[in-house]
Structure 1
């Protein structure tokens, strides 16, 4: 597995990393025993950075990963997790306070069965107050680093401009940004921001190359925030791929891997998927795959940037505004 250093850190990450959301109910049911074996296969094959967070199954993903690595030497793998996004209950979904952030790290370490994580990230910063994140969350995570419970601090979000602003304003060093669904056939804006982040010594983690399941033959989960128009377009692309015996996720992942990010987090759940991703990374696309990709780019993915900017945030704010104030 090819490797790159994450920004100015000493984390020498694989170009293809493992996304922990797959080890929860976010993308449907999963088999814990198979997930554990798969994670161990990934580590053995050199894909040894695993990115997770409490939000993925409200701790389920962290617990599964913890079981998978419990007999693996700690120096053989890298772990990243997150604070800030928690429960499905809308009132308890987000909390960026210092107290909750520090407590979350402690509970994550317990589930993961480790003494430290390599990267602790603020999850979905769009949903927090900008000043709270700068003055409370990030300083709390600096205390976590100072205590030896994490090595580096990062931020994760869909909004590239917001992450750029936090990097510029934060007094706490930001080692990495995690951008998801912004290096895809639909929306390739991450490429425009990478030079800025690298100029600041900030590592770039590229996640969700399939746009959280949009760019797959099977299509996304019902919760996906993209518009009906975007989903329809991707569904048509998937139909063509099925007819040509090609997997749309393979084409999308290959495209995403062309970015200059330090690592790409892929939502894999079986060894065959890891082998397929490794194959396109090392060998590129086959003739038929190249032909189908050209067709899809001409027919569907030539309409400018297709995105769901602010959609989730606006829905969250609307729900909060419509909800009665919870009883004390």
Structure 2
């Protein structure tokens, strides 16, 4: 199956219309099989997915090393690597309290480790995972521009930032894309962020397009979460919220059934249908889930389908925030 391509922003790279988010292969979603993860990365590349997203803190570096091993068996030039930095981990694997370290010194230090773990001499898109209000954005971007000029990174991205910050950043550096959660259950970016990105010619890479599995069509109310699965503390997976949200997913499933598609395929295709400047990231950890997600790349949603989807899951219909209150308070994109 050939995956269509689209340009990531006016000045960004050309990428597949669906990208692979690798977080779940190393972190936060319970155990993952390493051999299967590498096989999934290989199948993604062989199927035409060239955008792979990771973070240096995913699995405390494990995710980058995993991707690095996978890439030894594929052509590096066929892959667009998107890497986030800034979050800190403790030896026991827990996340260190905010603020994130996005100082100029950290930009260069973390980049050095990422290059080594990934086994490459450049990263295609490098971005701070979150901002630190105590570190001027201009300082962080200045260091990124310096690394870009030195050839260590090709494009500069941002993550979870609001419209005002996007405008401010665009005056300092050429931004390829902003990575943010965007799905049928997370419509916040539509208010100000997406219009600002389009005005400035900046792309959007959407994570959480299946809302951490809620929109996959594979979730059940009685599912037990394994130790370390962060969804156990996610408001949308809590008691009454979960029941409400699964009812929305059931309605979406009825639309999918009419279209001869799966619920997750419709959810992914809906994100991609919101504009040629938007690229959904799918967090498939297994080849069968990847194959299902790939079906979304050729699923056309006509006006009738889009209307039915809007009726099934209206904007703002989700119960519960996308993160716990403490995390929501730190997001520049939510201000």
Q: Structure 1 residues 36 and 255 mapped into 2: Cα distance closer, same or farther (>3 Å)?
A: same
Q: Deviations over 1:20-63 (max 9, x none)?
A: 11221211111111111110111111101101102221111111
Structure 2 residue aligned with 1:112, among 96, 108, 118? 118
Partner of 1:56: 58
Larger mean CA deviation between 187-196 and 67-76 belongs to: 187-196
Matching of residue 226 in structure 1 with residue 225 in structure 2? no
How far apart are 1:206 and its partner, in Å?
1.7
Partner of 1:326: none
Q: Deviations over 1:71-112 (max 9, x none)?
A: 322211110101111212434772122212211111011111
Q: Which runs of 5+ in 1 are unaligned?
A: 318-328
How far apart are 1:276 and its partner, in Å?
2.0
Partner of 2:147: 144
How far apart are 1:238 and its partner, in Å?
5.2
Partner of 1:134: 137
Count residues in correspondence.
303
Structure 2 residue aligned with 1:26, among 25, 28, 32? 28
Secondary structure of 1:115's aligned partner: coil
Counterparts of residues 150-229 of structure 1 (less than 5 Å): 150-157=153-160, 162-170=161-169, 171-182=171-182, 184-192=183-191, 193-216=193-216, 217-218=218-219, 221-226=231-236, 228=238, 229=240
Q: Structure 1 residues 99 and 275 mapped into 2: Cα distance closer, same or farther (>3 Å)?
A: same
Q: Structure 1 residues 201 and 214 mapped into 2: Cα distance closer, same or farther (>3 Å)?
A: same
Q: What TM-score, normalized by structure 2, do the two folds share?
A: 0.79
Q: Structure 1 residues 99 and 199 mapped into 2: Cα distance closer, same or farther (>3 Å)?
A: same
Q: Structure 1 residues 136 and 10 mapped into 2: Cα distance closer, same or farther (>3 Å)?
A: closer
Secondary structure of 2:155's aligned partner: strand
Equivalent-residue separation in structure 2 for 1:211 and 1:178 (angstroms): 18
Secondary structure of 2:321's aligned partner: coil
CA contact (8 A) 2:234 2:323 kept: no
Equivalent-residue separation in structure 1 for 2:180 and 2:236 (angstroms): 14
Q: Structure 1 residues 18 and 56 mapped into 2: Cα distance closer, same or farther (>3 Å)?
A: same
Partner of 1:321: none
Q: Structure 1 residues 91 and 199 mapped into 2: Cα distance closer, same or farther (>3 Å)?
A: closer
CA contact (8 A) 1:62 1:108 kept: yes
Equivalent-residue separation in structure 2 for 1:279 and 1:56 (angstroms): 27
Structure 2 residue aligned with 1:275, among 284, 287, 291? 291
Question: More relative contact order in 1 or in 2 (CA 8 Å, sep 6+)?
Answer: 2
Equivalent-residue separation in structure 2 for 1:314 and 1:82 (angstroms): 17
Equivalent-residue separation in structure 1 for 2:125 and 2:41 (angstroms): 18
Equivalent-residue separation in structure 2 for 1:25 and 1:218 (angstroms): 19
Matching of residue 264 in structure 1 with residue 280 in structure 2? yes
Q: What TM-score, normalized by structure 1, do the two folds share?
A: 0.80
Equivalent-residue separation in structure 2 for 1:272 and 1:266 (angstroms): 13
Partner of 1:308: 321
Q: Deviations over 1:269-319 (max 9, x none)?
A: 22222322232331347xxxx79x94x8646x33735462774445777xx
Larger mean CA deviation between 59-68 and 142-151 belongs to: 142-151
Partner of 2:247: 236
Partner of 1:249: 264
Q: Structure 1 residues 92 and 109 mapped into 2: Cα distance closer, same or farther (>3 Å)?
A: farther
Equivalent-residue separation in structure 1 for 2:315 and 2:246 (angstroms): 16
